[in-house]
Structure 1
Amino acid sequence: MRYSTILISMLAAILSVAGARAQDAGDAKAGEVVFKKCSVCHVADTDKNKVGPSLFKLMGRTAGTHPGFAYSPAMKEAGAAGLVWDTASLRDYLHDPKAKVKGTKMAFAGLKDDKDITNLEAYLNQFK
């Protein structure tokens, strides 16, 4: 009996961690709603640029390098200095674009809610 209690406790702990990690991954459906704020200027499901660059296959891309988009000198410099879009850099940028890349031409105040950013990332990650 004692071993079964220990096994049940261990299983509960594992499931709890797995559930927390799944929640950390974000909700792509909720992210699609958040993306509506971005969709005036960006697309995520194709490689075509709009007023802003396409966000298709964004993660792992060096900032300021999407083909055919006229980036600000500040964004090009950020990329040349090593800014690559990943979870951490995107989160920082979306919190306050003008603080992360001083001189960016993106006219967006940012997203203040971490959950919105997590969900947005889950949405963008669908388009790899």
Structure 2
Amino acid sequence: MNSTRTNKFIMAFLATVFVVMTTGILSDSLFHAPAPEKPGYIIEAAEGSGGGEAAPAKEEVSIATLLQSADPERGKNVFKRCAACHTAEKGGANKIGPHLWDVVNRPAASVEDFSYSAAMKEFGAAGNKWDFEHLNKFLTSPRGYIKGTAMGFAGDKKDNERADLIAYLRTLSDDPVPLPTVEAAPADAAPADSGEAAPAGNGEAAPAQEGVQPAEQAPASDTQQQGESAPASEQTPAPTQEQPAPAN
């Protein structure tokens, strides 16, 4: 009995394996998928009509414009990042960087008891001073603006923070430098208006010239009327001269 039951189990198992293998072989033959030459999936995407054109560059705002709304108190908080390397008070000592009292409009590399890098000395020897423009560009990217500077600050790319910081540095003086004036916008609007008005004037003059043509044709119509009436006047006396003849 046990051997018969065992044989049944074995036969059932073998039959199951046979069915599974047969099903796998048949499915592979019916649904054969060849292996791709390169592994991965091909994703088809429609090409954009832009042609890979670069995005328009961000318009640069002048430091003079930014300083009009800058806040020295906010700049004082920004300066906390600089306090490890610079002092701000009058008579302050040099640290890793030179003291920053009276720094605005100070000639570059001019603090006598500080050892500047060769790049900064060269920048100062060229007659540059730390005006608002130079401070703005230098604080945006110190190493990008002066190649070889020893300043470790990476820069501040935020216009408002940078303007606040410069506004605070301006206050570090007994006689702060006046804020720069914002240049007036170029007078491009006046030529543009005159250029637009010119076509309008020409457009109005054109109908006026066309209106003259009927006036020039008026004499021609009068002449034609006179020309047509002339034969009528010549034909009128002809019958009057011939009428007396039959009467005689």
Q: Quick check: TM above 0.5? A: yes
Q: From 69, 83, 88, give the equivalent of 2:114.
A: 69
Amino acid paired to 1:108:
F
How many angstroms apart in 2 are the aligned matches of 1:63 and 1:126?
A: 18
How many angstroms apart in 2 are the aligned matches of 1:116 and 1:87?
A: 14
Q: Identity over aligned residues, as a percent?
A: 42
- The answer for the alignment partner of 1:116 in structure 2 is 161
- The answer for the alignment partner of 1:34 in structure 2 is 78
Does the 8 Å CA contact 1:41/1:52 hold for their aligned counterparts? yes
Amino acid paired to 1:118:
A
Q: TM-score, normalised by structure 2?
A: 0.42
Q: Where does structure 2 lack aligned partners over 5 or more consecutive residues?
A: 1-64, 174-248
- The answer for the alignment partner of 1:96 in structure 2 is 141
Amino acid paired to 2:140:
H
3-state DSSP class of the match of 1:59? Answer: coil
3-state DSSP class of the match of 1:41? Answer: coil
3-state DSSP class of the match of 2:171? Answer: coil
Which segments of structure 1 move beyond 4 Å, counting only runs of 4 or more?
none
3-state DSSP class of the match of 2:81? Answer: coil
Amino acid paired to 2:89:
D
After superposition, the Cα gap between the structure-2 partners of 1:25 and 1:56, relative to the gap in structure 1 and judged at 3 Å, is farther
- The answer for the alignment partner of 1:24 in structure 2 is 68
Greater RCO, CA 8 A, separation 6+: 1
Return the index of the structure with the highest Cα Rg: 2
Q: CA deviation at 1:67?
A: 2.1
- The answer for the alignment partner of 2:124 in structure 1 is 79
1:12-60: CA deviation from partner (whole Å, max 9, x where unpaired): xxxxxxxxx7962511110011001111101122332111001110011
How many angstroms apart in 1 are the aligned matches of 2:118 and 2:66?
A: 38
After superposition, the Cα gap between the structure-2 partners of 1:82 and 1:24, relative to the gap in structure 1 and judged at 3 Å, is same
3-state DSSP class of the match of 1:35? Answer: helix
Amino acid paired to 2:121:
K
1:67-92: CA deviation from partner (whole Å, max 9, x where unpaired): 21110011010000122101110000
Amino acid paired to 1:82:
G
